[in-house]
Structure 1
Amino acid sequence: MAKVVIFGNSGSGKSTLALRMSTDAGLSHLDLDTLAWQATKPPQRKPLQESELEIIAFAQSHEDWVIEGCYADLIALAMPFASQLMFLDLSVEDCIAHAYARPFEPHKYASKKAQDANLNMLVDWIKDYPERDDVCSRAAHSALYEVFAGKKARITTPTDPLLQAAVDN
């Protein structure tokens, strides 16, 4: 059974890797962006308890899955169900390059134009990753990685053999 949690900075390749694993290995896929936010303007985080129920329901209703996102509080809720953890700990520069090359994400944006309109904000968000002290920070991600007792990998470059092996399996 494969129960994989992938996390890291925006632009680190979480969604790309998770979609590949979902397609190639038949894993059910949960993008935490889809359950972290209320449908309000401006967007606001859902109460943690609501997201927790959705994570538990997903984890228990699928035999093999991959969950990905940047929210340490939500990742911590998924970790007890996980058999493997992957921390995509790429450089800020690599993440920014990925953000500029990002394909259209219709589950997040109404149009490619709307997605591109947020690109500068996303790049600024990516740049702040090492210094932030919130649930989407490098510090929060490193802490999660350190406490996980199961199989885990910390990927530091887009060409890391561990990343390629994960995609190939």
Structure 2
Amino acid sequence: MKKIVLIGSGGSGKSTLAKQLSHTLGIPVYHLDTLFWKPNWQGVPREEQTRIQTELIAQDDWIIDGNYGGTMDIRLQAADTIIFLDLPRTTCVYRVLKRTVRHRHQPRTDMAAGCPEKIDFAFLKWIWNYPNVQRPDIQSKLNQVASTKTIIVLKSRNDVRQFLETAT
């Protein structure tokens, strides 16, 4: 594992797992949320997202955490390992609510400066609908690269814990 992509619903634990893997493996981690947002939640244009990711994947090793479906293929093609955090929607919603309270009015360390934690109905709806709307597309993309990549699907906190215990 030298080029790792972490994908999954909001609240699935992508950033936390990315940090833990970075510490364990000594590989730099890049949170797309810190790279694709400017202050006041201004999104970075797709062309800039593509440029940023092209530069990241040119490195010898990396962990990239984030979904961003419009540019996901760039990461999936370059990765040697893809970790899909496919946790229950109730777990993800709970975690997002918890982090919203914990980081209220301030940015998380895995979020861009000037983007304080926020929550709205559209984001909660996206998380709730993720298994039915985004998961099928992700599974299709994973099936397309399955013959050349290591794909790890983690479906529970226990799966994540066991994976971390064996990651080297």
Give TM-score scaled by structure 1 length: 0.79
Shift of 1:19: 0.8
Corresponding residue for residue 157 of structure 2: 158
Shift of 1:110: 4.4
Distance 2:24 2:53 in 1: 23
Superposition map of 1:2-81 within 5 A: 2-37=2-37, 39=38, 43-47=42-46, 49-61=47-59, 63-81=60-78
Shift of 1:167: 2.0
Q: Which runs of 5+ in 1 are unaligned?
A: none
Q: How many residues align?
A: 157
Q: Cα gap change, 1:55/1:42 in structure 2, threshold over 3 Å: closer, same or farther?
A: closer
SS of alignment partner, residue 126 of structure 2: helix
Query: Could you tell me the percent identity over the aligned residues?
Result: 24
SS of alignment partner, residue 4 of structure 2: strand
Contact kept in structure 1, 2:86 and 2:154, CA below 8 Å: yes
Distance 2:27 2:41 in 1: 33
Superposition map of 1:67-146 within 5 A: 67-102=64-99, 104=103, 105-106=108-109, 107-108=111-112, 110=114, 114-115=116-117, 117-118=118-119, 121-132=122-133, 137-146=134-143
Shift of 1:139: 2.3
Shift of 1:87: 0.8
Distance 1:109 1:100 in 2: 20
Shift of 1:7: 0.2
What amino acid maps onto 2:48 in structure 1? E
Q: Cα gap change, 1:97/1:40 in structure 2, threshold over 3 Å: closer, same or farther?
A: closer
Give TM-score scaled by structure 2 length: 0.79
Q: Cα gap change, 1:75/1:155 in structure 2, threshold over 3 Å: closer, same or farther?
A: same
- What's the RMSD between the two structures over aligned residues? 2.4
Distance 2:41 2:32 in 1: 18
Distance 1:108 1:40 in 2: 7
Q: Which runs of 5+ in 2 are unaligned?
A: none
